Amino acid sequence: MPIGESNANSAVTRIESTGHTTSSQQPSVSLRQSVTKPVALDPPDSFRLFGMTRDRQLSDAKHDVWSLDVPSISRVALASSGEFLVVLTNVPSAKAPAWRGQITVWDRSGTTLLVEGIQGRASSVAISADSTRLAVGTTSGQGVLLWDTNSWNVKWSTAAPVADNVEAVSLSPDGDWLAYTAAKSSTDGEWVLWNVAEQKQRQRYVVNGSGNLHAIEFVPDDDLLFATGSNDGRVRHWRGTQAEPTSRTFHAGQPIYAVASSPVGHLLAIGSGKRFALWDFERDVRTFVKDQLPVQVNDVAFLPNGRHVAVSSGALVEIIDASTGQPIETLTGFGARVLSMAYTPDGSKLFTVSANGKLRLCRLAAPSESN
């Protein structure tokens, strides 16, 4: 089924339509504002972010769409507990370094928990499965910044012993291990493994001939097993205690910018150029679900129960059944590339970030409809 079309088993949600944009209805807000009187949302269990409003013209009985203007937004992440939301923004600078990044964290009431400005770009974000640790990858030699989310005051950096420019970051399921990829050269990639409790680097490995490693992802049921996606179109499997890849490698053929691991089972969702694939690395079963998308896959995200995976390609998002590879629902009309996505813990809603500075919260079709 072509992207953007629907059949009897799939739903298409129009987020924006010609002549009905949300930018004129929603003022740009400062990320430093805290909410004292939250905007009431429906349903009430959603995040109450200051300035986020419902587009009543485009929402219907099955789909609600909420939008907030966040200039220069690039990434979004949501704690699995649902207790806090993380947003990364990056503003170009006329002076070196070329970017000024900012990390902002809100709780469910919309109160600001953390605002951290950095020199350079905030490139990537990861939250531990128990929601107790937050890791943010940075450029300009600051490495990875890590917070204890119980206090938001405890922070340390991986800038020593090596000041890395970080491209992707991941935390192990128990939060005790941190893995990230660093820019090495135009031809080689590099991954680094840290012990969080010891604040100590344990492993550093150069992947010769891979090009940049754009993605890294821990496997949920094994604290030291992770996968990397690289510019040479390969997903490589690693065990952190060994400086060699395992025998399992997936060659997708195009540069890999997005990898996500299913919360259950041994399934990886892979965005490889204009392809989207699912790979069961335990059985080494590989399936190209979408082989010729019109534009590059920007992000992939699994439903918390692992049954569905969201795939952003250009300015649309498809929800795909992870067991069959069939599309269930298509979201269109974002007006710009969808850069990042995050499911809510119950899987009923999806946060999206698009290149036009929009943070959106989309209520998806009910599980009975989707399944």
Shared-domain flag, residues 120 and 194? yes
Is residue 106 in some structural domain?
Answer: yes
Shared-domain flag, residues 47 and 153? no
Q: For the residues 60-88, what does the mean pLDDT come to? A: 90
Shared-domain flag, residues 135 and 247? yes
Shared-domain flag, residues 370 and 235? no
Q: Please report the pLDDT score of residue 58 as a whole number.
A: 57
Shared-domain flag, residues 309 and 356? yes
Q: Please report the pLDDT score of residue 252 as a whole number.
A: 87
Is residue 271 in some structural domain?
Answer: no
Q: Please report the pLDDT score of residue 75 as a whole number.
A: 98
- Tokens representing 178 are 């941190």
Q: Please report the pLDDT score of residue 336 as a whole number.
A: 92
Report the CATH number at residue 88: 2.130.10.10
C-alpha torsion sign, points 138, 106, 92, 217: positive
Contact between 195 and 176 under an 8 Å Cβ cutoff? The reply is yes
- The Cα 231–Cα 212 span in angstroms is 5
Shared-domain flag, residues 127 and 19? no
The rounded percent of the chain whose pLDDT value lies above 70 is 82
Shared-domain flag, residues 84 and 154? yes
Is residue 266 in some structural domain?
Answer: no
Q: Please report the pLDDT score of residue 80 as a whole number.
A: 92
Q: Which helix (H) or strand (E) holds 100?
A: strand 99-107
Q: For the residues 73-89, what does the mean pLDDT come to? A: 96
- Tokens representing 150 are 């119980």
Shared-domain flag, residues 237 and 319? no
Shared-domain flag, residues 44 and 83? no
Shared-domain flag, residues 55 and 7? yes
Contact between 34 and 112 under an 8 Å Cβ cutoff? The reply is yes
- The pLDDT mean for the chain works out to 83
Which is it for strands 349-354 and 53-54: parallel, antiparallel or unpaired? unpaired
Is residue 358 in some structural domain?
Answer: yes
- The Cα 332–Cα 317 span in angstroms is 7
Number of domains the chain is built from: 2
Q: Is the pLDDT of residue 6 over 50?
A: no
Query: Which of 251, 281, 314 is the C-terminal boundary of a domain?
Result: 251
Q: Please report the pLDDT score of residue 30 as a whole number.
A: 42
Largest CA distance in the chain: 57
Range of the domain at 41: 1-69+297-371
Any idea which of 75-79, 137-141, 229-233 has the lowest mean pLDDT?
Answer: 137-141
- Please state, in angstroms and as integers, the Cα–Cα distance from residue 354 to each residue in 29, 335, 340, following that order: 16, 8, 7
